[in-house]
């Protein structure tokens, strides 16, 4: 997960380089398009990826995607036009599409409800660590090798991790317990989408991810262009912002687990953590209006820490609302919503910035989406709205 996020975020650092923007003659809208390219294909492939992991298990679908996305990242070193770069980012999204459905399926089959929050917290911390180190690592590689060399080193270098991973990861599809649990027929997409609870998950996940995707795609540019930080300062501020999220995610999942183990209702407990985290995250809107860089950093760290409070529990809430044998496709649906928010955040931010001349409007948009997400989780993600087979309705 750390490696996947390194390859997703490295382009946002490159797009903050004045010489790169000038060489490719990019407008803010162009930068938004390039930042969104990964999420177009990633979103489209989420539901097919969910079917693949439900059919073939987690291990080899994940390994195949890992090899392919490493090669695509390395090939980025050869691009000479915006269209070539856009195409490779689309392909990268296809290759990485198996990451979350495969990982979430594996966790669902290997951890009980009272353990799942901590497991998901540790897993999702990988994305936050990846986000935290991606900017400084990318900036350092660019300094030593240039932006083309950075893509080559990062793509081929990270691929080495696949060797010990293949040796260590068991094949969940061959476990007898899994085969017994999968005896019943998974719910169809139509049956799943007829559930208000799944729509609560879809809307809530989109709104949660809008904020996070803004940070993935536009945070370096915000620090450089709005805060006038150097590349080194931008790297430090970005790492500190994502560190708040990484530190909180696993403990928040563990705390929810403890409450559930002591008799608290799983769905209500997961919802409480999810909604509270999104409300804390909404204070980020104050950061853009302050003149102080240190105060802006404070709001960035606290708001992302709040989002970390949500991170493990919103995934665990989805699993608590979902039949086990349909988990791959439900995770695919949810992660499709997450990915669509990446498209929206990248494009809408670029358009708002170009239309208004600054980052104030994009930050207000973040606040609006977070509040919509809170309402969706509160009113729709309920026990009585869980998906059921059509014949039982």
DSSP code, position 227:
S
Question: Which residue ranges make up each domain of the chain?
Answer: 2-166+186-385
Cα–chain-centroid distance for residue 254? 20
pLDDT at 168 over 80: yes
Looking at residue 390, what is its pLDDT?
61
- Which residue from 305, 306, 325, 311 is spatially nearest to 270, judged by alpha carbons? 311
- What tens digit of pLDDT does each residue of 146-164 get? 999 999 999 999 889 989 9
- What tens digit of pLDDT does each residue of 235-270 get? 888 788 778 787 888 888 889 989 998 989 999 999
Please state the rounded mean pLDDT for residues 344-363. Answer: 92
CA distance 138 to 124: 21
CA distance 43 to 51: 14
Q: End-to-end CA distance of the chain: give it in Å, rounded.
A: 39
Tell me the HSE value of 205 on the side-chain side, using a 13 A CA sphere: 26
- 70 confidence band (pLDDT: 50, 70, 90): very high
**Cβ 300 vs Cβ 287: under 8 Å:** yes
- Which residue from 161, 120, 163, 393 is spatially nearest to 266, judged by alpha carbons? 120
CA distance 270 to 320: 9
Burial class (CB in 10 A: 0-12, 13-18, 19+), 300: buried
Tell me which fold the domain 2-166+186-385 belongs to.
Growth Hormone; Chain: A; (1.20.1250)
pLDDT at 179 over 50: no
**Cβ 199 vs Cβ 380: under 8 Å:** yes
Looking at residue 5, what is its pLDDT?
85
Looking at residue 54, what is its pLDDT?
79
**Residues contacting 156, CB < 8 A, separation 6+:** 70, 74
pTM, full prediction: 0.73
Looking at residue 234, what is its pLDDT?
81
């Amino acid at each position: 997960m750390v490696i996947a996020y390194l390859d997703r975020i490295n382009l946002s650092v490159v797009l903050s380089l004045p010489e790169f923007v000038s060489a490719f003659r990019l407008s803010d809208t162009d930068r938004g398009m390039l930042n969104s390219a990964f999420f177009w294909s990633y979103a489209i492939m989420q539901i097919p990826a969910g079917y693949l992991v439900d059919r073939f298990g987690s291990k080899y679908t994940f390994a195949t995607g890992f090899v392919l996305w490493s090669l695509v990242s390395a090939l980025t070193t050869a691009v000479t036009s915006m269209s070539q770069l856009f195409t490779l980012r689309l392909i990268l999204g296809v290759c990485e599409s198996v990451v979350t459905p495969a990982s979430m399926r594996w966790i669902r089959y290997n951890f009980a409800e009272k353990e799942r929050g901590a497991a998901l917290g540790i897993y999702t911390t990988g994305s936050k660590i990846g986000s935290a180190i991606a900017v400084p690592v990318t900036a350092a590689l660019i300094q030593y090798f240039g932006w083309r060399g950075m893509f080559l080193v990062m793509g081929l270098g990270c691929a080495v991790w696949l060797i010990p991973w293949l040796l260590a990861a068991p094949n969940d599809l061959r476990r007898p317990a899994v085969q017994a649990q999968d005896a019943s027929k998974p719910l169809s997409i139509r049956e799943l989408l007829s559930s208000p609870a799944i729509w609560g998950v879809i809307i809530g996940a989109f709104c949660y991810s809008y904020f996070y995707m803004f940070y993935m795609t536009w945070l370096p540019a915000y620090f450089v262009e709005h805060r006038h930080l150097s590349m080194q300062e931008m790297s430090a501020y970005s790492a500190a912002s994502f560190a708040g999220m990484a530190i909180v995610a696993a403990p928040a999942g563990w705390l929810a687990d403890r409450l559930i183990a002591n008799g608290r209702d799983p769905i209500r407990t997961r919802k409480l953590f999810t909604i509270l985290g999104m409300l804390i995250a909404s204070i980020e809107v104050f950061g853009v209006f302050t003149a102080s860089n240190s105060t802006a950093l404070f709001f960035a760290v606290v708001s992302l820490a709040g989002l970390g409070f949500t991170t493990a529990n919103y995934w665990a809430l989805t699993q608590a609302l979902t039949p086990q044998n349909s988990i791959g496709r439900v995770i695919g649906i949810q992660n499709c919503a997450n990915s669509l928010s990446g498209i929206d955040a990248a494009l809408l931010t670029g358009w708002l910035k170009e239309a208004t001349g600054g980052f104030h409007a994009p930050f207000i948009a973040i606040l609006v989406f977070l509040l919509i997400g809170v309402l969706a989780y509160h009113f729709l993600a309920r026990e009585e709205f869980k998906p059921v087979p059509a014949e039982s309705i």
